[in-house]
Amino acid sequence: MTLPLLALDFDCRFISPARLPAFKGSTLRGAFGHALKSVACALKRQDCASCLLAGNCAYSLIFATEKLDASRLSARPHPYVLNPPATDQLQYREGDSLSFNLVLLGPATQFLPHVVCAVEAMGQKGIGSGTTEGAGRFALRRVTMGEQPAQVLYTEEDRMLRPPDNPPCLHLAAGAPGPAGELGLGLLTPLRLKDQNSLQSALPFSLLVRAALRRVSALEEHYGSGRPALDYHALVVQAGAVESVQADTRWQEIKRYSNRQKREMLLGGMVGRLRFRGHISVFLPLLRYAEAVNLGKQTVFGLGRIRIVEPA
């Protein structure tokens, strides 16, 4: 079971002062959607659901999932995750840097040129408050992929887009049974998980595993090799035997402005650190996968980002 993945780092420089919210994921995601549509849409003002070009359109595939799947009980997941910078800086001066991470999944990886052009278009229009007065404009300096040494895909100087060398795939291998051990987990951005239709402020290991199974199964079903052939019930039962030995977490609210509802909204979730003890190794492939794609609700603008601190 494999899912193509491009984890891209965008390095930008403001060319006019900017005013941004403390959590920038929703702002970046909204600007990215508008810019991608302007770059990719050939038939302006055409509804995606009735557009003949939807099957080959970067915007309809990456961004317009709800419209295209309105007849389904649940929309397909978006094939991307936008992780904002881990800073609550509000005011930016001309020349200040802005960096963010964008993960493209499955067929979305084929639209890398459209995505880079969309980020350039974001910079030309501006982000944050005051864009109609010229605030928040930025230049895209470079796009890289991978850890050190990172592969440079694009630079402001030559404006050439290089194809990724050996782009990675997410693999969901079967977890190997092993002795009991401990696992540390960091909740880097608010994690919003529901159980019995209620948001949870505690995270037992079984809830974490169920959330990871839902997320991975949905992505693989729509964009990968199909629904993973896992014993879901057995995994959840085994997860129930893993105990929580430390929960240094808190509930964090973030503010975002909803263009659809024309109002400011609060979104809360768990952040902090946890430690679990038990037979962990069988779950490691699942959790490694979840590290790359985030968990819970609003993953598209960076919520639910987790990090394994110490493997079992």
CA atoms within 13 A on the CB side of 33: 17
Give pLDDT, residue 307: 96
Give pLDDT, residue 69: 47
Give pLDDT, residue 197: 73
CATH T-level fold of 172-310: Alpha-Beta Plaits (3.30.70)
Rounded CA-CA distance 172/204 in Å is: 22
Give pLDDT, residue 241: 95
Give pLDDT, residue 76: 85
Q: What is the pLDDT of residues 130-171, one digit of tens each?
A: 999 999 999 999 999 988 788 999 999 999 999 998 888 888
DSSP string, 70-124: TTSSSPPPPSEEEE--S----EE-TT-EEEEEEEEEGGGGGGHHHHHHHHHHHHH
User: Does residue 310 carry a pLDDT above 80?
Assistant: no
Q: Edge-to-edge, what's the strand order for the sheet holding 263-278?
A: 243-258, 263-278, 181-191, 306-310
CA atoms within 13 A on the CB side of 173: 8
Structure tokens belonging to residue 131: 């864009």
Q: What is the pLDDT of residues 176-200, one digit of tens each?
A: 677 778 999 999 999 999 877 777 7
Choose between 16 and 262: higher pLDDT: 16
CB 283 within 8 A of CB 175: yes
Mean pLDDT, rounded, of the chain: 89
Domain segments of the chain as ranges: 2-169, 172-310
Q: What percent of the chain has pLDDT over 70?
A: 92
Q: What is the pLDDT of residues 44-92, one digit of tens each?
A: 766 777 788 877 889 989 987 754 444 444 578 999 999 999 999 999 9
For residue 93, give Cα distances in angstroms to 134, 137, 155, 284.
Answer: 13, 11, 22, 43
CB 52 within 8 A of CB 264: no
Split at pLDDT 50, 70, 90, the class of 256 is: confident
Q: What contacts 214, CB < 8 A, 6 or more positions away? A: none
Query: Packing angle between helix 112-125 and helix 25-40, nearest 10 degrees?
Result: 110
User: Does residue 13 carry a pLDDT above 60?
Assistant: yes
User: Does residue 262 carry a pLDDT above 70?
Assistant: no
User: Does residue 312 carry a pLDDT above 50?
Assistant: no
User: Does residue 20 carry a pLDDT above 60?
Assistant: yes
